[in-house]
Each structure stands twice: as structure tokens, then as C-alpha cells.
Chain A
């Protein structure tokens, strides 16, 4: 091992979200990584910080009809519609048969009422296999109610407050970009007891087939992900970082270490990788190695040293107030 490689190996990539300790600051995005087992044969499970499981609801959901996916420039639209077997079946089968892995497992909860969120969180968080909970209050692909939670700061606050009482485990609240003031929603979630915020879920979008004159998704509208939304996501992280003190999990179109670095510099403590796994499931581990090399080359000892650095030291119109250190 050369001197520089030894220095890189000493770089600390571990991070904490509430009480959740991650060996690497990389989560696999909910809905993009199944239970993790689908990808385990092609990726190195020891180089993944955590896997956010597919969102689960109280009742079984068949999901939207096909087509559920459309490729778009620099991204894709999806409208899966939260297909899942419901919490009872999920705990009895999917979770019970889970293979132990070195990564941290984060359960994702979706719902259509405040009570549903609280009920499902309580059941899921009680499982020893679950290390933390992500609240998907921002799914754009289900009939109206789904996303309205994350679009209304007060409603977000109500959901988070009720859910907070059901578990001690780290609670990550996933925010929607489809709002006028994401910082306001972020502040409500923080005040209500969230331990961390996931920023952002997909951006609403639509594609139309010019031969058939019909929408290309069975659900008509969908959620846009991939590099197409990255600048939107970087700005959202930057704005949220200015507004709250709790850690942020940045996501939206991360494919390379450079993309990930943008999010850390904007104020994210960890990042999440979703759509990029559809190019190549080894992208997350390459990002981890890339982060190590980037920090090592600069003589930095930990990932924490770059978090939020884009918010410091300039006096432009958007200078970030209220977040120090």
C-alpha cells in the first residue's frame, strides 16, 4: 500500500442520522433497490451504508397499471403506485424472510391518513431488523392524498408529531420538491421531532405518445428522477440546510462521486442513490471509493468536514443564515 492509499484508508466516511450510525454516507433510495436482495449478487453489500426498503402501507395495494416507466431525457418517469402487500403480510413474509446483511435497513412508510402513518410506523419500527424509519409523505403517484402531506407544512407537522410518539428509532422525513417553500415544510418536520430529512422525492411530470395521443404512463402523471432533477435537488438541499439543524439525506440524480459531492457541499450529511442503480448496481460502491479518494487527496479526515461548505463564506444574495458548524 502506498502512502497516499494508506492516508485514504484512514478517511472517516461514517455518519450519524439521529441515533442511526452508517459506515458509509450512502443509502439506496426507496423503491429503487427492492429489499436489497435483488441487487446483492451484483454489488458489494459491505460497501453500502443503508438500504431504504420499498414503501409499505397498511392495506395491500396492487399499484398502478402499466406502463409504469417511461425513459425521458437524462432521467425517467415512474408511476408504480406503491404496490405492496400491506403491513401484516409484509412483516409475516417479506421481512421475516430477510437475509442478514452488513448494511443498515431503513423501513419506508407510506399512507393516506395521519393515523395510517402512525399505525404502520409503530408496527414496522417494532421489528428488530429495522434500524430506522423513513416517512414517505411525498409519493406523487397515488390519488391526491398521498403527496398532500408533504405539500402542506401543517399537515406534515401533524403526521410527524403523531409518528414521533410511536418510535424511538431514527425518523427520516422525505420531502417533496413539488412545493413553493420546501424550507417551511422542513422546519415543521424538524419542530415536530424528525431526526433527519430526505430531500428530495421525485418531481411530478408527464410524457405523451404523439402517435396514440395518449399519456405514456398508465397513471397519466408520474415522478421524474435521475440527472434531470439534480439541480432542483441540490438547491432544495441548500435551502433546507439553511432552514434546519437536523441532518439531510440528499438525493436526486446522483450517478457519480462529483454528483454526490455537490449534495454534501450543499449541506447533506448523507446521500441516497436510486435511479443510478438501473445503470449499474456498482455505482454506489464506486461513489464510496471516490469520496475516500477526494477527501484523501485534500488531506481531509472525514466526510463531515465538507458538509455544507457551499453555504459558507460568501455574501451573495442567497447567503445562508442560521446554520453554523
Chain B
């Protein structure tokens, strides 16, 4: 993965726009030119609670262009409810960009992007970068129902092919998005995925069976989001370039080491995870 060498800071921003692409899903754009300038695909930010909630909230950076950064989130609890209450003109402080993004350095030519639900929020920036480098991009997009397949038009406008699946069959194929991926012809040379953990595990298994390298953007409960509390770990191969430095088996350590999703991740190579 590309390491985060960009200046990370607390940005005092102003909300520019707020829309609800589906009931319970909010798209919030804010004025943050410095953040937009340094964000790379797959990075996230921590939104400092604007109104008294208990901890900052990790959100993928959905859009980052010119002066505007946007997040796309599912309102599922107190913190996202508080953020959903923001309106144009309100202030919002965010810390970012954080984490290591997707590694697109191998000049992939044909990429499958797999999104589960709100996981779509971390995938627009890599799609834009890939299309800018003339790669073919197929988006495999799954959600519970048609209404939750938000921002499809946006991805289509970027120039990717879109294949959808819904749990209830209300749009696209009925069933899981990983089922679509397994049938992809010709085989992509790289898979990028973001979504709920069961979907990521299924994606990892499918890619392993097909022999395609995959990068997964994981989700864990965060506290600090900046690598200071070791609360957000996932076990990975200690020989991974992303493994935090830790004694090896000969020095009393072990073959696997717990990596921080917020610091070493959130994107990991599927074959290096030991979850």
C-alpha cells in the first residue's frame, strides 16, 4: 500500500452542500481545499463531533476536488445522526487525510471494483484515478435493495461499467455481489473492495480461488483513528510490508502480528490478512 506521507491536519471546514441520495444516506460536501489537494484514493478522515458526541467518526473520503471534499455516510447511530444534522454554512472540523490508500502503482489495466452498501463511499476516488490512467473499470455493486444502490449514475458518468446485485432482487441480480465477481470475464488483473466484513471475506475467498490479487478496505471500531490506542487491529502476516514492526518468532513474537486498521490500513492485501 502507499504510505501516508501527506501532511495530516485538523481542517476547520464549512459545509457547502447536503443531500440525501436515499433515505438514511447523506452526502455532505464541505470547503476544504488543503485536504482536497493531499487526499489519495482510499484514505479517510475523522470528523470531530460538531455537537457533543463522544468520539470522532471515521468516514471514507468520497470526493476530493479543487476546494471541496465530500463524505457519503449511512445514518446508523448517534454520531452519524449528529453529522446528518449539519446544513450548508455550518462549521465542521475534520482530521485527515488518514491511513494508507489503495496501491494503484502497478499500472493495472483491468480492474474490478467491488462495493457492498455504503462501502461505495471509499471507491469513487480510486475509480477516478484508474479511469484517468485509461484502465478498464468494472464496478460490482451490491446492496440490500435498489434504493440503497446510491450514486450509480455518478460512477457511470465516470466511465465505468456497472453490474448490480440486491439481496431482495429489486434491482440487478438477486443475491450477493461476490457472485457477480466470480463470473467476471475476462478476469480482471486487480480487485479493489470495500464493504461489510462478510462481503470482504467472500471477496478474498473468490479472488484467492481465481488467483487475482485483491486489496480490501477494512472497517473496525475506531477510537483515536491515528494509531495511538491499538484498538482497531486485524492480524496480518508479519512479513507484510504493512506489518507494524514487532519481534519475530525467534525473538518471542509470532508469524502474525496485529496491525492497526487506522494506521497500517485501512487497505490491506487480501492474501496477507490472517483473519
Contacts and interface: CB of A to CB of B under 8 A. Distances in A.
Interface string B245-263: 1110001111011100001
A278 B223 contact: yes
Given A41-B9, A66-B234, A74-B54, A278 B229 contact: yes
A31 B8 contact: no
Contacts of A65: 235
Given A38-B224, A41-B8, A60 B253 contact: yes
Given A39-B228, A76-B223, A89 B246 contact: yes
B9 A42 contact: yes
B221 A71 contact: yes
Contact of B224 (A67, A71, A89, A278): A278
A275 B246 CA distance: 25
Nearest to A35: B228
B233 A63 contact: yes
A68 B230 contact: yes
B230 A71 contact: no
Nearest to B53: A279
B182 to A, nearest CB: 27
B257 A62 contact: yes
B252 A60 contact: yes
A50 to B, nearest CB: 15
A226 interface: yes
Contacts of A277: 224, 228
Given A38-B228, A71-B221, A278-B56, A62 B258 contact: yes
B196 interface: no
A309 to B, nearest CB: 29
Nearest to B79: A71
Interface string A1-40: 0000000000000000000000000000001111000110
A287 to B, nearest CB: 16
Of the listed residues B225, B226, B254, the one surrounded by the most CB atoms of chain A closer than 10 A to its CB is B226
Size bracket of the A interface = 35 or more
Contact of A80 (B53, B225, B230): B230
B49 interface: yes
A76 B55 contact: yes
B165 interface: no
A165 B95 CA distance: 44
Contacts of B53: 279
Contact of A279 (B7, B8, B55, B227): B55
Interface string A270-294: 0000010111101000000000000
Of the listed residues B49, B231, B232, B256, the one surrounded by the most CB atoms of chain A closer than 10 A to its CB is B231
B37 interface: no
A80 B48 contact: no
A59 interface: yes
Given A38-B224, A70-B221, A60 B231 contact: no
A69 B231 contact: yes
A238 B271 CA distance: 53
B30 interface: no
A80 B229 contact: yes
B10 interface: yes
A93 B253 CA distance: 15
25 contacts: A31-B229, A32-B229, A39-B224, A41-B9, A42-B226, A54-B230, A59-B252, A62-B257, A66-B220, A66-B233, A68-B221, A68-B232, A70-B221, A75-B54, A76-B54, A78-B231, A80-B229, A80-B230, A85-B253, A88-B251, A89-B246, A93-B245, A278-B229, A279-B56, A280-B49
Given A38-B226, A279-B49, 20 more contacts: A31-B229, A34-B227, A38-B224, A41-B9, A54-B230, A60-B247, A62-B256, A63-B230, A67-B220, A67-B221, A68-B231, A71-B221, A76-B55, A83-B233, A83-B258, A85-B253, A89-B246, A227-B54, A279-B55, A282-B10
